[in-house]
Amino acid sequence: QVQLVESGGGLVQAGGSLRLSCVVSGRIFRINSMAWYRQPPVAQRELVAGITSGDSTNYADSVKGRFTISRNNAKDTVYLQMNSLKTEDTAVYYCNAEVIPSGWGMRSINSWGQGTQVTVSS
């Protein structure tokens, strides 16, 4: 019922920037929140940044001051602006959305994109 498609990943040198995008589509009544997670090599998936329907944001300590999460006016697309990238940021980045599908009342589901690779070289 819900699809998330990420884009914007790629290969950059340390100190460079990337902007990730994630578009949410489907039979959706409401998107409560959206977030970016990442999974480095040989590591667990971790929360990078999140944004609520009220535009409240939170960030992992490792990216504060460097990354910015935002949404478009329709609130169906989330962005992650990544500046001053470090080699430690190399990971597969996943878009996440807490979504209330149409017809579900107030019950929500947690939906994931397929991921986009971000590689930061020294």
Looking at residue 1, its pLDDT comes to 81
The tens digit of pLDDT for each residue in 75-115 reads: 899 999 999 999 999 999 999 999 999 999 999 999 999 99
Sheet holding 77-82, edge to edge: 2-7, 18-26, 77-82, 67-71
CA 9 centroid distance within chain: 11
The tens digit of pLDDT for each residue in 3-61 reads: 999 999 999 999 999 999 999 999 999 999 999 999 998 899 999 999 998 899 999 99
- DSSP assignment string, 14-76: TT--EEEEEEEEESEEEEEEEEEEEE-TTS--EEEEEEETT--EEE-GGGTTTEEEEE-TTS-
The DSSP H or E segment spanning 111 is: strand 109-112
Whether 69 and 58 have beta carbons less than 8 Å apart is answered as: no
Looking at residue 57, its pLDDT comes to 97
